Structure 1
């Protein structure tokens, strides 16, 4: 791919591991973050915001581990406008070949008065101090004006000018609460370009939230107005309604290059793989009608649509499925398929597993093939994602036996391991799921409440795998767990255990307030 010119080039800043993880229930382990970061690196993402180093030991460890591994992308850590935050970010980023410190402070009247308790002058001083301090560690410093879209323009322009004078090379304008309208946001970017005297010394970035469903539209209009960095997340995950979706931004630019004559370095053929991995790690299922990566994005049921597709796919498809890595092959998998065919199929689906992981996945595939008449690509994706998501769980499923039916008190006999120690319990409930979850509470006592229990079929047919999502809440912490099995009750137990494992890990993680940017 030819490297685009500076004027046409869009820098892609992915914040799945930082802002995306701030979605309620989306906490990730260090291993999971590394896996996602390595995939983003392979996709040629320009900047990966690996975390908020001062938030916890876990965040510091993740940023530091990613900084040691990546060779392609710039590794970034968020920091508030304080020396302690910036020092911690610099320490975590120290091993990185290419590093960025991203420091921020709120500039809107509401945030300065209510949240920070600071005057505009005090905020302006902190802008200069924080950027100057960050610049001591790296030449690549990004400054963000939190709630920038609701800031008073003259004060905002003054802060931007001072941040650049202090050494910021990227100026990020966040629509922190998703309030802006596309033309309004584009006008703000244009005014910054035309008003701030030294803006030519920095890249303008935008970070849009999706509270009104306008994050992607706002980002694209900002690019047309002169922004050259877009901040986004895989599947659009993030606080509240989420962030601008990575896949939507990239494919909009690629597909509508006639009106968006810009280029990125992104390898789009890995988009589906990234979407599936983030969904598996977070437990957040991708809605069927989600643009680009949803199950129905390339499905055609209407007779008129099907007729057009048979004649020419371009009648109803503006993108090719293979452009995002959605490839169907003639390699049919079943109970007689061997390990080589299994590995080949996984590669076609975008998975490259090590020998141990491949062996474990192959054993589960064989068990699945014995139960199902046909093993679809979706089954394999669910199986491998489930395997990946469960690798770091301190609580693991061993076995489940149920007694239930008409005139029978539902009884669950459950075995699990907790940090390698096997435990067993028997419990009754008002239904089989209730009995299972009561048994889990006996084995791993906790006070979390169940706020979501959701089941959907991975494929069609009565032998389809059930994918179960469980959401637990405890003391303001929210976690999701996901599992897929042909046995819905086993999937329910494993999903609950996945969520509970995340909750146990998250109890040790306390993030400072005001992480938004």
Structure 2
């Protein structure tokens, strides 16, 4: 970067807090959550929500479990005012939910805010004014004393209006752009507001300390919060609230560290919607806690519904890599990742009392309403483990481990050719084409077991079989006796069909998906060149499925390059 360009920027000054305690703390309980989707999130939309969309979003937030919801800025526009009245007049606010309204420190706005609340049982009135050095000097051109006087005047008017109403009013104050405000000055103005509202431990006010613009590394925000909590008079009469934006991309981390530093409450939005790079993402924060065994108090067990409503109301598509919620976050394309997930899932199933411990998956997808079928996705980077996982989970085919590399290569060739992700159906189609329906060289027309004999004294058995087989277009009748039907058929192929091969491996199982009456057999042969070839067969008769599997292996060997 050009040195002259870099001169425009200055590093953010750290907080002098050598005895900070927050790095040793851990989050043990969820904070008080406040959704600002309907206000902060809504004002950042290209097309703000209609009344119907606001109502749908409000109901979603209630269903998730939010008890505090900032529903709008009723003095700022008619639709914001109308929505407030829609909620109150329609009796749509549950008894355990408190709505929150935002207002600047101006008499007309404050009075209209209280008019919008008429008939409401309880509400938080959220007062803010800008306090940062930059805002004071550039936007308002006012000194520190004047800014404090502005905030205090608004606080006094709010208290006066609260005394006139039947609504139980809770107070909240935000020194906007807190992170750009000198800490002693931020403390001074907040304490001046406290002097007006006179909160108590039984009736605390909310002091919201917003990173209106994220300006530093997360640890500095945590230092600011710890410093503020230490120095605030009557700390037990205030709930310290966080409101982080994501300009540096670290809003979640900043909020988590600030909670460790002593904050009590968090304001944010679903999936980080908001001005510029957005607000802190409450979904990520809550599920981060969930993965540590902490009840977040918010229900994201049906994450797809939350996504659908949010996308519909905001008209913003969720990124496929969004934490916990994106389309691709419970998938693995890498072969080594797929193999590790497959083994981890198997270990969990073998020991259900074990806690969640699956490589690459910090959360059980079922806990957010996802299914295992979508965990592994197959493309040209995928490996044999992922392909085997899909065959097992989607279709019930438990391929022998020795068969995985061969089928993995077949699928990879198909993925390379199409240049795209393969769906489970495409993988199954490839399996059928390669193994089940491959009859170019050898095709079974008929098969019968003529006689079975068991010599109990010698513990031996024998079987006589006959078959009609089409070999390279020529129909042949085969007949032989062997230790069992499969052994007899192998003898017939060698003696009458002129084939040279050795039966090397045999596996079978009932299909676990689809028809329970079908069995699948996997057979590996060693051909005359000492190469191994796997085949597979499916039938309601286990003997026929083994005959089909043998012919499948012979067909694959017959079709090898150079033959």
State the TM-score, normalizing by the size of structure 1.
Answer: 0.59
From 157, 163, 180, give the equivalent of 1:150.
Answer: 180
Once the 2 structures are TM-superposed, how far is the Cα of residue 254 of structure 1 from its aligned partner? 1.7
From 331, 334, 337, give the equivalent of 1:305.
Answer: 337
Cα distance in 1 for partners of 2:230, 2:241 equals 15
In the alignment, which residue of structure 2 is the partner of 1:163? 193
Structure 1 position 17 matched with structure 2 position 38: yes
Kindly report which structure 2 residues correspond to 1:224-373, keeping only aligned pairs within 5 A, or say none.
224-257=260-293, 263-313=295-345, 314-327=358-371
In the alignment, which residue of structure 2 is the partner of 1:69? 92
Kindly report which structure 2 residues correspond to 1:446-461, keeping only aligned pairs within 5 A, or say none.
none
Structure 1 position 191 matched with structure 2 position 227: yes
Contact persistence 2:124–2:171 (CA under 8 A) = yes
Structure 1 position 53 matched with structure 2 position 53: no
Contact persistence 2:36–2:267 (CA under 8 A) = yes
User: 1 or 2 for the larger relative contact order (CA 8 Å, sep ≥6)?
Assistant: 1
Q: 1:37 to 1:328 in 2, by over 3 A?
A: farther
In the alignment, which residue of structure 1 is the partner of 2:248? 212
Kindly report which structure 2 residues correspond to 1:412-423, keeping only aligned pairs within 5 A, or say none.
none
Once the 2 structures are TM-superposed, how far is the Cα of residue 328 of structure 1 from its aligned partner? 7.3
User: Whose radius of gyration is greater, 1 or 2?
Assistant: 2
State the TM-score, normalizing by the size of structure 2.
Answer: 0.55
Gaps of 5+ in 2: 1-26, 163-167, 200-204, 346-357, 375-422, 426-563
Once the 2 structures are TM-superposed, how far is the Cα of residue 9 of structure 1 from its aligned partner? 4.4
Cα distance in 1 for partners of 2:257, 2:83 equals 33
Gaps of 5+ in 1: 1-5, 331-373, 377-517
In the alignment, which residue of structure 2 is the partner of 1:31? 52
Q: 1:27 to 1:316 in 2, by over 3 A?
A: same
In the alignment, which residue of structure 2 is the partner of 1:490? none
In the alignment, which residue of structure 2 is the partner of 1:126? 150
Once the 2 structures are TM-superposed, how far is the Cα of residue 22 of structure 1 from its aligned partner? 2.1
- CA offset digits 1:100-159 (Å, max 9, x no partner): 111100111111222223221121122222223223424311100111011011111111
Cα distance in 2 for partners of 1:270, 1:66 equals 25
From 108, 113, 119, give the equivalent of 1:89.
Answer: 113
Once the 2 structures are TM-superposed, how far is the Cα of residue 199 of structure 1 from its aligned partner? 2.2
Q: 1:210 to 1:78 in 2, by over 3 A?
A: same
In the alignment, which residue of structure 2 is the partner of 1:222? 258
Q: The residue matched to 1:130 in structure 2 has which SS?
A: helix
Cα distance in 1 for partners of 2:304, 2:155 equals 37
Q: 1:206 to 1:117 in 2, by over 3 A?
A: same
From 99, 110, 118, give the equivalent of 2:134.
Answer: 110
Q: The residue matched to 1:226 in structure 2 has which SS?
A: coil
Cα distance in 2 for partners of 1:231, 1:8 equals 16
Cα distance in 2 for partners of 1:173, 1:86 equals 21
Q: 1:299 to 1:7 in 2, by over 3 A?
A: closer
Q: The residue matched to 2:278 in structure 1 has which SS?
A: coil
Q: 1:279 to 1:307 in 2, by over 3 A?
A: same
Cα distance in 2 for partners of 1:278, 1:86 equals 30
Q: The residue matched to 1:231 in structure 2 has which SS?
A: strand
Q: 1:187 to 1:202 in 2, by over 3 A?
A: same
Contact persistence 1:37–1:66 (CA under 8 A) = no
